[in-house]
Amino acid sequence: MDTDTAPAAPRRVAQAFVALADTLVSEFDVIDFLQQLAERCVELLEVDAAGILVTDQRGHLRLMAASSEQTRLLELFQLQDEQGPCLDCFNGGVAVHCADLRGEDAVRRWPRFTAEVGHSGFAAVSALPMRLRAEVIGAMNLFRARPGAMPEQQIELAQGMADVATIGLLQERALRQSQILTERLQSALNSRVVIEQAKGVLAERHECSMDQAFAALRRHARDRNRLLTELAHAVVTRTLDPAELDHLAARLPGGSPG
């Protein structure tokens, strides 16, 4: 493994982009894509957590995908709807970096956010804008356990990942009409809601945690070559084939439902 200051090996970067591009051109599920991208960010950028937040177009930032389903982490992303580097990044349309979340500047700028971060053990953060032309649709949030500035090369790569996330989400490089932006964003937001509902169904049925449920959903979708959101929808509406449900359940710690 490279040292903390060495950039990700070019080959690994290339492999990551090829894999993401592959997702884009084949059968595409936007939530699964963003999930994979968040996980790649952690790998390539040598950060400890990544989250992708987008605007719901009515005044709130919503978490679309995160590198880990740990509740504490998710809350840390979500509370930035009200205050934090992510919100500042989204409002200003430019990258926001903080090399030391325990420092005076950070505490003064984001008192509530820094108080929460204190519990989580993260010491530094970067937020990169997700933008297409003049339109900022969200922000990519990267947390690091150690304080210190993000190296310039990694910042460039991080912005590249944020750009890929934007294009993946909107599927359009030239947004001629804001109608398409709204259609795609809102559809993706609703897909995320379906997934949360499916997590609840599985967690209750199989007495597992939400992140175990989510991991099982993703694995099953991948193995059965099904779109993640479609699978989640079938789970929630109870239209999933019983044999398939058993297969899904087999991946969970609880095993078959009682």
| Contact positions vs other proteins (CB under 8 A) | 56-60, 63, 74, 78, 81-82, 177-179, 182-184, 186-188, 190-194, 196-205, 210, 232-233, 236-237
Closest of 17, 21, 28 to residue 188, by C-alpha: 28
Q: Tell me which DSSP letter residue 50 carries.
A: E
Nearer to other proteins, 50 or 157 (CB): 50
Nearer to other proteins, 15 or 57 (CB): 57
Nearer of residues 18 and 134 to other proteins, judged by Cβ: 134
Q: Centre a 10 Å sphere on the Cβ of residue 79 and count the other Cβ atoms it contains.
A: 16
Bridging pattern class, strands 135-144 and 61-66: unpaired
**Measured from the CB of residue 128, what is the shortest distance to other proteins in angstroms?**
22
Complex with other proteins: residue 155 or 210, whichever CB lies closer? 210
Choose between 162 and 232: whose C-beta lies nearer to other proteins. 232
Smallest distance from the beta carbon of 39 to other proteins, in angstroms? 19
117/101 Cα distance (integer angstroms): 8
Minimum CB distance to other proteins, residue 105 (Å) = 25
Query: The tokens of 14 are what?
Result: 């290339």
> Is 11 or 58 the residue whose CB approaches other proteins more closely?
58
Rounded to the nearest whole angstrom, what is the least distance from the CB of residue 123 to other proteins in the complex?
26
Q: Tell the smallest beta-carbon distance from residue 116 to other proteins (Å).
A: 15
Minimum distance from residue 224 beta carbon to other proteins (Å): 19
| Burial call 227-254: b when 16+ CB within 10 Å, e when fewer | bbbebbbbbbeeebeeeebeebbebbee
75 CB burial (10 A radius; 0-12, 13-18, 19+) = middle
In the sheet that 135-144 helps form, which strands lie side by side, from edge to edge?
61-66, 49-55, 135-144, 124-132, 96-98
Q: What is the DSSP letter of 9?
A: P
| Segments in the chain forming alpha helices (H) | 10-25, 30-45, 71-78, 85-92, 104-109, 111-120, 152-170, 178-206, 210-223, 228-236, 242-249
